[in-house]
Homo-oligomer: A and B are copies of this chain.
Amino acid sequence: MSNLPFPRLNPQVLADDGDELTFCSTCAFSQACLSHGMDKSALRELHVLVEHVGPYHAGDRIFAEGDPFEAIAAVRAGTVKTRMIDRDGHEHVLGFYFPGEVVGLSAIDGHRYPCDAIALDTVMLCRFSFPKISVLATRVPGIQAELFRLLSRDIGRATQLAGDWSSDQRVAAFLIGMSRRLSARGFSATRFQLTMARTDIANYLRLAPETVSRVLRRMQNVGLLVVDRREVELLDLVRIEALAAPIRRV
């Protein structure tokens, strides 16, 4: 069931594990709700809107390129990658999404998903019908503002990736990005698991898998980090950030 197309999925609704007022603390919208002092009725409306779906397992397709766009989803657990397959059969990874981040926003224009979304491990989602959350956004300015912000941020991310950077810079920026996003959610900033394959990283950074291997090896040799299979420890965050700096702060 869990590899049916996401929009048509007859959702496997999970037991509700958040009460109406605290809502999911990992949700991308929680900050908007709390910081804007959203009133209880608005919060309740948002809470009614959400469907908890999952679990998806590694390799499951959450939605497919070409599916009609109906919903966006906040990741509650696990990692999601979005990717396109071009007509030459090459995979282009567009992004990785960690808990608290929202996937599917690029489908608004065109009314169809422009890419596949694939679970990299066990994934739980909060699904929001886009027509419904749009209507809610007209009544709750905090929701609208958060949607605008999330969309705008994705433009910035895609733009960073588009620059012509060296392989060292790309890998460094990728590691710093993961470090910051994970630490923002309470995980360690210096030691974490790469939940994606080398090939996924390579297709995301527009490098060959061999190049990713070589760069990581080189960084380990000069003492920047230690990498063992999919486990990474960043030893010299300052120098890695310096490498990534032209990308992350252009």
Is A134 positioned at the interface, with any CB of B under 8 Å from its CB? yes
B84, B147, B152, B159: which contacts A250 (Cβ < 8 A)?
B84
Contacts of A59-118 to chain B: CB distance below 8 A: 84-88, 92, 94, 105-110, 114
* Min CB gap A165→B, angstroms: 9
Is A223 positioned at the interface, with any CB of B under 8 Å from its CB? no
Q: Which residue of B lies closest to A150 (CB)?
A: B109
C-alpha gap A90/B91 in the complex (Å) = 30
Is A137 positioned at the interface, with any CB of B under 8 Å from its CB? yes
Q: What chain B residues lie within 8 Å of A84 (beta carbons)?
A: 250
Q: Which residue of B lies closest to A203 (CB)?
A: B164
Q: What chain B residues lie within 8 Å of A137 (beta carbons)?
A: 138, 144
Is A149 positioned at the interface, with any CB of B under 8 Å from its CB? yes
B88, B152, B250: which contacts A108 (Cβ < 8 A)?
B152
- B151 and A87 within 8 A (CB): no
Counting chain B CB atoms within 10 Å of each CB, the highest count among A84, A153, A154, A206 belongs to A154
B88, B109, B158, B206: which contacts A158 (Cβ < 8 A)?
B158
- B134 and A94 within 8 A (CB): no
Q: What chain B residues lie within 8 Å of A162 (beta carbons)?
A: 94, 158, 161-162, 206
B86, B144, B158: which contacts A159 (Cβ < 8 A)?
B158
C-alpha gap A147/B162 in the complex (Å) = 23
* Min CB gap A118→B, angstroms: 16
Is A145 positioned at the interface, with any CB of B under 8 Å from its CB? yes
C-alpha gap A179/B152 in the complex (Å) = 26
Q: Which residue of B lies closest to A153 (CB)?
A: B109
Q: What chain B residues lie within 8 Å of A152 (beta carbons)?
A: 105-110, 151
Q: Which residue of B lies closest to A137 (CB)?
A: B144
C-alpha gap A161/B162 in the complex (Å) = 6
Decide: A108 near B149, CB < 8 A? Known: A87-B245, A144-B138. Answer: yes
B88, B141, B150, B158: which contacts A246 (Cβ < 8 A)?
B88
Q: What chain B residues lie within 8 Å of A156 (beta carbons)?
A: 106, 109-110, 114
Q: What chain B residues lie within 8 Å of A150 (beta carbons)?
A: 109
The 8 sampled A-B contact pairs (Cβ below 8 Å) are A85-B250, A86-B250, A108-B152, A109-B153, A134-B144, A134-B148, A154-B155, A162-B206
| Chain A contact residues, CB within 8 Å of chain B | 84-88, 92, 94, 105-110, 114, 134-135, 137-139, 141, 144-145, 147-156, 158-159, 161-164, 206, 245-246, 249-250
